Amino acid sequence: MFDKVVRMITWRYGGRKTPEDREDYSQICQIALLREEKTLSLMPEPDAQKFAYTICRNEILNILRTEHPELSLSDNDIKEEIQKNPEFLKIDDSIDAEIIIRKLDKLPNPYPEVLKRRFGIGCPEETLTEIADRLGVTAMTIQRWEKLGLELLKKRMKI
């Protein structure tokens, strides 16, 4: 199912390596994906592809760091690269946010609306009282719904 992702990652990070090294990378990625098989099977296809990509990339980067510690970037080097190209942060953040919003939208009512308004997702952030007035309930009820909604979201995210 994720053969294309594995091939892409092994060529991207192991392109200058020998065919045997790329085959090793491929096997390591396959094993890592098998470890996450249950989680991947519960995700919609686009999210599963992104998650598989991240799993494989991290596995190979861990190998490269172990094999060539001299090539690892220091914290200062990473900060400089991010300042030069802030798009690095936006990629992972946008993927994470997209996954969270999809999971949030699948929660039963009233949790999605309460959490979106409380944390300003797609609308201005609101207080418990503002949301309570809008929905015609007490602030304590909104607080309870927020807590239950976050617990449900964590379960769906497998955190």
What's the chain's average pLDDT? 78
**Rounded to 5°, angle at Cα 44 from 125 and 53:** 95
Q: Which amino acid is at 42?
A: L
* Tens of pLDDT, residues 61-80: 887 777 766 555 555 555 56
Query: What pLDDT, on the 0 to 100 scale, is given for residue 93?
Result: 47
For 80-94, write each residue's pLDDT tens digit.
Answer: 655 555 554 444 444
In the chain, the N- to C-terminal Cα span, in Å, equals: 24
Whether the Cβ atoms of residue 115 and residue 100 lie closer than 8 Å to each other: no
- Protein fold of 82-157: Arc Repressor Mutant, subunit A (1.10.10)
Give the residue extent of every domain in the chain. 3-73, 82-157
